[in-house]
Structure 1
């Protein structure tokens, strides 16, 4: 009997210990800062506890308004409690994205909240989108099955590696660059003329410097490469230069990559140039210039005289399930450089635009900038573009489609000597909560360069459905066939200028044109045709 009770007690204690260990393992803090990481990369404004465990917090840099942008990362398998302590005072705080529906409790300079599932969230204080900001990346528990001694694997374990004085670390065909959690590589990474390459792990590429060597001053560059996968890494960039860029590439998958570059300006997030079959999924990008820009930079770099028709096209590109924050220029854009044979089959879907601002120095002066943007400097055909299920928390202009002569006070010239038009562009389930202008503008250039066949389906601004009669909606006479729908059912349609003129001319042949209903219709159509 004694042995039975001993066995029973042992079993109960074992079960208790197993339960305790399982509960304690909710938070996997394997993103610990390297011990020799320079102090300037450590945040002094934010302290983060997850289930009572200290999570190291990085200071990425200062934003355009000279306030700190910080981030931290951890893994979890379930709901976790988070406490954030600041060394500055605040009276309110909010957690984004809005759809996460996470509420916080404030006690002095502490705020606490529960994160129900691993996800990316951002904390803003006192509704100041220009103030100190904390980005928290909660990851699913990782499954580390990497073979560290494999000859095809370039492995960086936890630690700080300063390659800033060296050329970019070049990853050749068939190789894997694995940055383990806790690894911080200060340097640049290049994939050029390669196939079957992978960059993965939960480590960090840190690039807070600019260079003048023969290589691009970009943290991560892909050129002339095919079948490349990039996943799970974080890029912390603090320089007035692009963070990541691909050019003349195909079959590229970018998944669960986090990018922050708060430096003003030219600090794009991840740009795509003359590439095809590209997928971005579950991304987080904060930039102080375009967050994502699909560009055409020609065969040898941007050349305003180059005919886009002889360059590689941009097509089959998808950006989904992503959060972006853009302190300058456009959040989700095509252009401004558009030296590409054509743009086709491009989709932006299920995206939270946390913030979009036009410019620090010249606010409200660049009318071509917007959250959802197509701004082309070079004549080419852009078609089958879809923006769907997109939420704008705070910004200025909502949608803009333009064909300007130049960019940034004439510093970058365009070229409209060739034919090229924009058509079959769809905006579906777009919601803006912003207190900005929320302008929607579609401007063709001339009879050879038009904007046509545009569909708006459920566009809502601060609770109101937008239609043709909204003062927010603007077009010109080179914008044709615009339709507004609700849940796929057409409710309004804007005929183009030539169609109205045709109807008016047809009616003018009627003998009773000067009087009666036909005369009234013709005169009305004439007036309308002259306005558009």
Structure 2
């Protein structure tokens, strides 16, 4: 069996294994046409008047949305500056019309991202009009401004709302809610529900618990490290909420669906996975002031590797560091394995990192004696990010964070990866030494600015490496790397 077939089979087996815990989520009802649900802001919620946002059913009455003030991170030189951005959300089924008015001045250009959604819009004066026929997590940008933009979350209509009187439900209705002591400890069998229009001030902690759900449309207050923390738990579902972070450590059978994580502060990672198995991210939106999503081995109180981690149908925006990072942290005395990792159908909107050690939209960095293997990146669309690398695969020894080099990276498929832009610096693929290699790496239909990169591409001079055509540096201790198309 060839290497690529073996990797595909392993990827399929990981997806099949995920099915065993996906079924813990409610079965979705058949979509009902032409529904629209909006949620007034609670009294005291901080608003941003940069935009006025309205929605309606086709030719119906316009309904106003609250425009919440959120913060994002902007790197200026070597410093970080908080920027005031906007957030709005609603639920719908069928079709909806959206009106976004820019209140700060003339609109010379307007952009709706991800660009792959190809959402057509009309511009009339200061107002952008467009239609949606399916849920989407969007960035609306006026005059090229990505920091004072509108994050617009158009959700599906909820198919399950728990009974507030159920003794196993912790229910937060519309309004601002203070968590005593700043931390809500959720025990086994409980469901936490944040209704649309609710803001929860505090962190949700799921620790040594099982069969727990956190659901709803509400917001967990944007503040440093206030979000959802899952530790040493099993059978956990987080769905629909807006927060700063969603962390998973030492846990199994975790589903995180349609969660939006936006951070602005130092080390503001979005969705970390540490020493956990069977973790699914589906339809999430991450805009973060550090790595959007990571997979690590042993770190702190959590021990062991990671297996069966999938992120799919999602959007990533790294204002600092990596959109996707695997492998930095592990256990040198008792080495870990990070395996059967899948990143499928993802839009990467930005990557901004000036330090070369921490660049790479798609980054596998094996340190701390970690072995990274059987990884699949498929159907990933990368827009023109500000600064960094497209790919970074390294077995390395970063003495700032590691106590040893990684053991290796092997069996990795990149399929249908596209990048359109001019700001990517040279990507790096490099092993550490003859005992710590990068091997069995296959690029299938890698497309850069409309050009498919292949070992048999007609534009490649015979004396060039194929990696040269992609703008990749392939160093020593790398073996069996190929660039192919589906037809080869």
- Max Rg structure: 1
Q: What residue is the counterpart of 2:195 in the other structure?
A: 180
Q: What residue is the counterpart of 2:311 in the other structure?
A: 319
Contact 1:330 1:370 in 2 (8 A): yes
Query: Which of 250, 253, 256 is 2:255 aligned to?
Result: 253
Contact 2:327 2:366 in 1 (8 A): yes
Q: What residue is the counterpart of 2:240 in the other structure?
A: 232
Contact 1:246 1:275 in 2 (8 A): yes
Shift of 1:488: 5.9
Query: Which of 30, 36, 58 is 1:27 aligned to?
Result: 36
Contact 1:270 1:291 in 2 (8 A): yes
Q: What residue is the counterpart of 1:354 in the other structure?
A: 349
Distance in 2 of aligned mates of 1:270 and 1:55: 27
Contact 2:328 2:401 in 1 (8 A): no
Distance in 2 of aligned mates of 1:62 and 1:327: 8
Q: What residue is the counterpart of 1:269 in the other structure?
A: 270
TM-score by length of 1: 0.77
Over residues 228-247 of structure 1, what are the superposed CA-to-partner deviations in whole Å (9 max), with x where a residue is unaligned?
11111111x3xxxxx22111
Contact 2:329 2:401 in 1 (8 A): no
Query: Which of 166, 171, 186 is 1:171 aligned to?
Result: 186
Shift of 1:202: 1.6
Contact 1:168 1:188 in 2 (8 A): yes
Q: What residue is the counterpart of 2:457 in the other structure?
A: none
Contact 1:218 1:245 in 2 (8 A): no
Contact 1:293 1:333 in 2 (8 A): yes
Over residues 138-191 of structure 1, what are the superposed CA-to-partner deviations in whole Å (9 max), with x where a residue is unaligned?
11122344121111111111111123x614100001111111111110111101
Q: What residue is the counterpart of 2:284 in the other structure?
A: 283
Distance in 1 of aligned mates of 2:258 and 2:282: 6
Query: Which of 35, 42, 46 is 2:47 aligned to?
Result: 42
Contact 2:395 2:409 in 1 (8 A): no
Distance in 2 of aligned mates of 1:133 and 1:323: 16
**1:8-407 alignment runs, 5 A limit:** 26-29=35-38, 31-37=39-45, 41-51=46-56, 52-64=62-74, 65-89=81-105, 90-129=107-146, 131-163=147-179, 166-208=181-223, 210=224, 217-235=225-243, 237=244, 243-261=245-263, 263-298=264-299, 300=301, 311-339=303-331, 341-358=336-353, 363=354, 365-395=355-385, 396-406=388-398
Query: Which of 424, 427, 432 is 2:411 aligned to?
Result: 424
Shift of 1:252: 0.6
More helix by share: 1
Over residues 249-283 of structure 1, what are the superposed CA-to-partner deviations in whole Å (9 max), with x where a residue is unaligned?
0011111111111x143111111001001111111
Instruction: Give the match's secondary structure for 1:272.
Output: strand
Instruction: Give the match's secondary structure for 1:99.
Output: helix
More strand by share: 2
TM-score by length of 2: 0.83
Contact 2:366 2:407 in 1 (8 A): no
Q: What residue is the counterpart of 1:481 in the other structure?
A: 480
Q: CA RMSD in A?
A: 2.0
Instruction: Give the match's secondary structure for 1:207.
Output: coil
Distance in 2 of aligned mates of 1:413 and 1:195: 32
**1:485-496 alignment runs, 5 A limit:** 485-487=484-486, 489=488
Over residues 192-239 of structure 1, what are the superposed CA-to-partner deviations in whole Å (9 max), with x where a residue is unaligned?
11111111122111132x4xxxxxx4421111111111111111x3xx
Q: What residue is the counterpart of 1:513 in the other structure?
A: none
Distance in 2 of aligned mates of 1:86 and 1:183: 26
Distance in 1 of aligned mates of 2:314 and 2:357: 26
Contact 2:369 2:407 in 1 (8 A): yes
Question: What runs of 5+ residues in structure 2 fail to find an aligned partner?
Answer: 1-31, 57-61, 75-80, 455-465
Question: What runs of 5+ residues in structure 1 fail to find an aligned partner?
Answer: 1-21, 211-216, 238-242, 302-310, 490-532
Instruction: Give the match's secondary structure for 2:304.
Output: coil
Contact 1:49 1:55 in 2 (8 A): yes
Q: What residue is the counterpart of 2:24 in the other structure?
A: none
Over residues 311-344 of structure 1, what are the superposed CA-to-partner deviations in whole Å (9 max), with x where a residue is unaligned?
4110111101101111111001113323461011
> Which structure ranks higher in relative contact order (CA pairs < 8 Å, sequence separation ≥ 6)?
2
Distance in 1 of aligned mates of 2:159 and 2:401: 49
Instruction: Give the match's secondary structure for 2:424.
Output: coil
